[in-house]
Structure 1
């Protein structure tokens, strides 16, 4: 398929999209494009993306901040089906903090990696789960469910406060274990399991 050659400005936007997606695994927002390329107006960036789509270089979905796919006419690999997963705010890996339930962003994730259940994302605040590989600033992928098995890592609500910990329950108490020796377990009689941690997204600085 013939593609119309790009002018230097559009070529710069396309190269940034490719590098960003290669580095992070998901596309940038329009504001991130503007910041990286010193574009003063989001309208200018939108025009560039519209041209790239019209010329067959990308595919984007309206009303989704991060729904941009690079189209490669030479690739023999099948296109992955993606699902949009909402980022709902922050959750603590430390002392519980008030849960934030507003949708901050939407990330496309490969459907074949998360084949069942309703998913949501939470940004981790704190270092109580570092021995489980969950670091401050990571984004955890959570499958919504209300029950958990002993030893599983869950997002959990305690008296309206949210935290991520390893879950244990006996006949009397629920014990939420950190993965950092600096923190003590949280022992409660009641807690609401929000979901099971099934994945993680991390930006390398």
Structure 2
């Protein structure tokens, strides 16, 4: 009987499988550490040793990519595929999302989580991690990824938990989806700018438009240039 994996070990095993499928070779310890936000490659090595002890991989000290999947790992992958077909949730990244192992010309983009009231979007305390993105992923290169909270933009295909790719700019055109600051709050909405009238429009009838008054503390923080969805399809 196969020994049960921890959530982190399963994540690393999936990373190895995807790297081999996408590039034809396993990741290095440094690539695993970078992808999962470890401080050093030694942390990745510890998890790889655990996977080896449980029979899912074989390690070779002769090369930086000395990771080989065992028959047990292949059988586990087949079982995971069956779970997907029966509708069970499986961690995945949809087409258009960055690959696990980023190409050599990728750039690190900060992932911003919840923004505290009144503070800059890119303040260090808001950055959860940096994610390597391929330069060709979006038509316009984003300056940061913003984790979406709530469902006010649902009908535009922007869901709770999605990563919105944002290009920093203080200007936007009518109809663009923007990251805007109104007072102490930062929100994602569609910009309705006609003459002197400015409104922030949701894409969900359960939410009301936001009218921006002439004396309001309002600023455009950036415009949306793409979207990454990290939840599984059911």
The TM-score with structure 2 as length reference comes to 0.56
Report how many residues are paired.
161
Distance 1:85 1:52 in 2: 32
**Which of 146, 155, 160 lines up with 1:136 in the alignment?**
160
> As a proportion of its length, which structure holds more strand?
1
Matching residue of 2:16: 18
2:216 counterpart of 1:179:
no
- 1:52 deviation in Å? 7.6
* Aligned Cα root-mean-square deviation (Å): 3.7
Q: Map of 1:9-158 to 2, 5 A cutoff?
A: 15-19=13-17, 28-29=35-36, 44-45=46-47, 55-57=63-65, 69=101, 79=103, 81-90=105-114, 98=117, 101=123, 102-114=126-138, 116=140, 119-158=143-182
Q: Alpha-carbon deviations, 1:120-171, whole Å to 9, x = none?
A: 1111110010110000111111011110000000100001210000001133
Q: Could you say what secondary structure the match of 2:114 adopts? A: strand
Distance 1:135 1:118 in 2: 19
Distance 2:61 2:112 in 1: 29
Structure 2 portions without partners, runs of 5+: 1-9, 23-30, 51-58, 67-98
